[in-house]
Structure 1
Amino acid sequence: MIAVALTVVLPAAASAQQASTAAPAAHPPGAAIASGHKLATEAGLQIIREGGNAFDAAVAVSSTLGVVEPISSGLGGGGFFLLHDAKTGKDVMLDAREYAPESASPDKYLDKDGKLDPAKSINGPWSAGIPGLPAALVELATKHGKLPLKQSLAPAIKIATEGFPVYDRMSKGYAQRASEMEKYPGTREVYLRNGKPIQTGDLFKQPELAHTLTLLAEKGRDGFYKGATAKKLLAGVKAAGGAWTAEELANYQVKERAPIEFDYKGWKITTVPPPSSGGIALAEMLQILEGYDLKNMDPVHRTHLVVEAMRRAYRDRTFFLGDPDFTTIPQKVLLSKDYALGLRSTINPEKATPSDLLSGNPTPLEDDETTHFSIIDAEGNRVGATQTVNLLYGSGLIPKGTGVLLNDEMDDFALKPGTPNSFGVMGYEANAPKPGKRPLSSMSPTFMDSADKAVVLGTPGGSRIITMVLLGILGYDDGLTAQQVAALPRYHHQWLPDLIEAESGTFDDATARGLAEMGHKLKLPGNTAEGGRGSSHVWGNLQTVEWDKKTNTLSGGSDPRNEVGAAEVLPSTP
């Protein structure tokens, strides 16, 4: 069932008609937040009301999502935080991606026949990287926020203590993962009630997680990476058969990285660099597509060209991208308009390019259960953040006494070169695991700026994240509203397997037939095309906010596919 997410837009003092003839506004008329859960959106707005800025609100939204969306994110995971400081005009990305523990060598993930063993790569202690989200919350508060960390974490602590109603996606997700999660005493203590699993409508309290958040609030990063919480994390991982060390846990650091910037038809696009693959892939795709008049094309030819751009970008993702601290990435070449022109020249406007005709060797030169939120405040500060524990409920392991559900991000490494991971994407040496290395990600929080508008957008969706953000950017360029962008139908191509996947209703019969006649293979809901994942009826959970500087109005879009998401606008008080 698709539920319509709540979108509340409160009017600014001046009417749009009055503002339309004026110069673009210097500051937004309030704040706008869109997130995957209404309680997280409200937590961020509460912190804004208390005098915080977008970065303080991000702490509240992020930590609350970790409480109310444990299927998607939490203290045991990581993420990317794209920040815009209105006062300085500076953009920065906080890389809070998990990293590989020292024990995680590739051979640990193979079975006796040398094949990738998913029991280790996606379940239990060996699937978990060292978490980064707690360090990101501290960094946001201490370096960018106005309020104490303790104040910004208070909403999440309150909700973890008092509980919230379990929703369908949460209970159904648990049912899918119950056999793995119930192997671990710490997980059973959180998710079983009198020996029975959580059900929709239950009041879900997490007192141990509340205590862990309280220690983080009081002691900063040492409240998680050292001391009592760290000892419990290490003991829980060891009891489950894993091997983390106190030193690698204590040494985790958030890294500041320079965002990727490029232009697309009058928009300045600011997005994430490696270890996200999203920024480079978006730049490649959009710089290929800027050579076409997409707005005036029929649906078949427009989709064909977008798919061909996707195909080429994902091919480069496979061979060239990884953690830039460990891998030499030809970023300058991949971001070059000349390189995009060369790729564009290989596209036949009337016929699909079979993926096996694009070289499978390097040339010389991310589950759907992730979450995203977007924020703009009254000063013009912006945050786009995508965070995750990777697959549904991560590793399934909660170290006893912590309430912290650990990620299964090791599956995002190329654990066996040339072997697809859980999202069907492959990698080679550039994304092979090494101690302290961060796995390649598809998370792609993105800013869009034009003379009249400022936009924040992003979504979960595994390897489909990048293409959903691409379609969102094209939607804004077509003149759609924030809510229309959040609701756009979605399709995807990732080089291999050589298939267009799409949601239900994305293509009418004529468009699907036209694409097939061009040589494209389509995998649609109910379609039995070989290869690739079964195509879901709906994908992602896009959250976006927009400031129209010409009318000086704010708006938000929350994905209608999500039953509990919310986008809200809070006007400035006189």
Structure 2
Amino acid sequence: GLLSDPAKRGGTLTLQDLASYKVTVTDAWTVPLREYQMYFPPPPAGGAILSLVLNIMKGSSPITTDEKILFYHRYVETLNIARGLKKHIRDPKFTSDEESFADDKRRLINDEIHDPRHYNPTLHVDSSGTTHVSVLAEDGSAVAVTSSINYMSVFGWFCFTVRNQLSKMILVWIILLFCHSKLLLYFSGERPPSNMAPAVLKSQSKTLVIGGSGGSWITTGMASAIMNHLWFGKSLKEAIDTGEKDVVDALEAKGHKIAKFYNVVNAVEKDDGGCLSAYSDERKKGKAAGY
């Protein structure tokens, strides 16, 4: 069943494929972010994109409404630039010198709104079926885990998830982001890119574990929550839940097209005094829990 079910759908999975597969264990990448060190999985995961966005935006602390409008305009422009760079996420050298790379990209941002082609966008299909768990243990261990089964249906070409009828296993071919892309032509068993960006941020006094779900909106939701909490002083609940209608209205008046999106972020934090706080966006019915 493990081989026959994929074969019925045009797959080419063989016993040799299973026997020769090796799990790659790598060290986390580390990027400085103000007083924090940010740890995240290396490419093809999406942490490199998230850290780039935060590095471009760091140093800003808007207070007045006008400052917030300008800040979020630049944030939207930063996300557009990051979206255009997603095609490079499989390159391990993508953030070899992230601070100078972020400085170069920051220079592209001004107070104007550009045609989407200006950002050289990456075409992709958003995924669903993703979940994230943030954990802090009594001994100080910190774990951020994002998992996904993508769409539970045939999606086209080699992009599908199927239920194995014999073993009742869920077989996931997460090549979804290669679809509608030149990368599909060159796929040869390498790990495909992902928007997942589980992260641990550590300073001298605090440890923050954070992650999210929502396809390409993972980066957006996590960056917003991290900035709200670490830079603007909001609690985890406020950082994850807060929306500012006056800023949204002003961005729309400026010409940005604002759409509602569905992504979920959850996080847990511990300070050096032992105080724990945790919160999960409730739209997926997630809750913080302890013992």
Which residue pairs with 1:89 in the alignment?
A: none
Could you tell me which residue of structure 2 aligns to residue 60 of structure 1?
none
Cα deviations by residue, 1:221-272 (Å, 9 ceiling, x for unpaired): xxxxxxxxxxx31122224443210111222222112322222221221122
User: What residue is the counterpart of 2:53 in the other structure?
Assistant: 285
Counterpart in 2 of 1:27?
Answer: none
Q: CA RMSD in A?
A: 2.5
AA at the equivalent of 1:568? A
Secondary structure at the aligned position of 1:569 is classed as coil
Secondary structure, aligned partner of 1:347: coil
In the alignment, is the contact (CA less than 8 A) between 1:368 and 1:540 conserved in 2? no
Could you tell me whether the CA contact under 8 Å between 2:62 and 2:68 is conserved in 1? no
Structure 1 residue 432: deviation in Å? 5.0
Deviations 1:206-230 (A, max 9, x none): xxxxxxxxxxxxxxxxxxxxxxxxx
Report what 1:308 is aligned to. 77
Q: How does 1:519-534 map to 2 (within 5 A)?
A: 519-522=255-258, 524=259
Structure 1 residues 541 and 245, CA gap change in structure 2 (3 angstroms) = same
Task: Call closer, same or farther: CA 1:392–1:561 in 2, change over 3 Å.
Answer: farther
Would the alpha carbon gap of residues 432 and 543 (structure 1) be closer, same or farther in structure 2, given more than 3 Å must change?
farther
Find the counterpart in structure 2 of residue 234 from structure 1: 3
Matches within 5 A, 1:139-218: none
Pair 1:457–1:295, CA change in 2 (3 A): farther
1:342 is displaced (CA, Å) by 2.0
- Equivalent of 2:21 in 244, 252, 270: 252
Call closer, same or farther: CA 1:452–1:487 in 2, change over 3 Å.
same
Q: Does the alignment pair 1:553 with 2:289?
A: no
In structure 2, the partner of 1:483 is 237
Larger radius of gyration: 1
- C-alpha distance in structure 1 between counterparts of 2:214 and 2:186, whole Å: 23
Q: After superposition, where does 1:130-141 map in structure 2 within 5 Å? A: none
- Tell me what 2:254 maps to: 518
Instruction: Indicate the residue corresponding to 2:106 in structure 1.
Output: 344
Q: What letter matches 1:354 in structure 2?
A: D
Could you list the structure 1 runs, at least 4 aligned residues long, displaced by more than 6 angstroms after superposition. none
Amino acid corresponding to residue 265 of structure 2 in structure 1: L
Unaligned runs of 5+ in 1: 1-231, 418-427, 489-505, 525-534
Aligned partner of 1:420 in structure 2 is: none
Tell me the CA shift for residue 485 of structure 1: 3.4
Structure 1 residues 514 and 351, CA gap change in structure 2 (3 angstroms): farther
Q: Which residue does 1:274 correspond to in 2? A: 43
Residue of structure 1 aligned with 2:131, choices 371, 379, 383: 371
Give the alignment's TM-score, normalised by structure 1: 0.45
Q: What amino acid sits opposite 1:553 in the alignment? A: C
d(CA) in 1 for partners of 2:265 and 2:101? 30
Report whether the alignment pairs 1:385 with 2:154.
no
In the alignment, structure 2 segments of 5+ residues that lack a partner are: 155-159
Contact 1:386 1:460 in 2 (8 A): yes
SS of the residue corresponding to residue 459 of structure 1 reads strand
Paired residue secondary structure (2:106): helix
Summarize the Cα distance change of 1:432–1:456 in structure 2 as closer, same or farther, 3 Å threshold: farther
State the distance in 2 between where 1:481 and 1:285 align: 21
- Asked if structure 1 preserves the Cα contact closer than 8 Å seen for 2:80 and 2:121, the reply is no
What is aligned with 2:166? 401
Give me the whole-angstrom Cα distance separating, in 2, the residues matched to 1:545 and 1:393. 33
Cα contact 1:235–1:399 (8 A) shared by 2: no
Matched AA of 2:26? R
Report the equivalent of 1:332.
Answer: 96
The SS at the match of 2:290 is: strand
Are the counterparts in 1 of residues 134 and 144 from structure 2 also a CA contact under 8 Å?
yes
Deviations 1:99-133 (A, max 9, x none): xxxxxxxxxxxxxxxxxxxxxxxxxxxxxxxxxxx
SS of the residue corresponding to residue 172 of structure 2 reads: coil
Aligned identity (percent) is 25
Within 1, Cα distance between the matches of 2:168 and 2:120?
47
Q: How many residues align?
A: 281
Inter-partner Cα distance in structure 2 for 1:302 and 1:355 = 20
**Aligned with 1:397: secondary structure?**
strand
Contact 1:484/1:557, CA 8 A, preserved across alignment? no
2:267/2:278 contact within 8 Å kept: yes
Distance 2:248 2:239 in 1: 22
**Which residue in 2 is equivalent to 1:213?**
none
SS in 2 for 1:332: coil
Q: Which has the higher contact order (CA 8 A, sep 6+)?
A: 1
Question: Contact (CA 8 Å) 1:236, 1:400: kept in 2 or not?
Answer: yes
Specify the code of the residue in structure 1 equivalent to 2:33.
Y
Amino acid at match of 2:280: S
Q: Say whether residues 1:447 and 2:168 are aligned partners.
A: no
